[in-house]
Homo-oligomer: A and B are copies of this chain.
């Protein structure tokens, strides 16, 4: 079966790039620098359902996104901590949240999931952010 992005992720995000394993998506919520990695594998819900090679690739991709997103966000308001989450209670397709957090952001120190309503980017702002992230990641 082919990989198809879950419709909820399609609605909530914009595509940044496809890496070796994962599709990188920008969460359309300008309150936080927030990237979602989706391994391009069909029918995977839990991390342990990926074979070992894919798990290793995914971990490398999470680490790379985390490090570069932190550097990127530091130039744009700051970044004190990266939060990583694989939750999937609403969207069962395996996906990994990587979120840049600031001690003065809206949800700190709580996690961002389920906190308030997303603030979508404006169209131009979204294009600009995607272009900038494509260069930085």
Interface residues of A (CB under 8 A from B): 45-48, 50, 52, 55-56, 58-60, 62-64, 66-67, 70, 81-90, 92, 101, 108-111, 113-114
Contacts and interface: CB of A to CB of B under 8 A. Distances in A.
The number of times this chain is found in the oligomer is 2
Contacts of A81: 45-46, 87-89, 92
Given A56-B56, A111-B113, A63 B48 contact: yes
A116 to B, nearest CB: 13
29 contacts: A46-B70, A47-B59, A47-B62, A47-B82, A47-B84, A48-B63, A48-B64, A48-B66, A48-B67, A50-B63, A55-B59, A55-B60, A55-B63, A56-B56, A58-B59, A81-B87, A81-B88, A81-B89, A84-B85, A84-B86, A85-B85, A85-B86, A85-B87, A85-B111, A89-B109, A89-B110, A90-B109, A111-B113, A111-B114
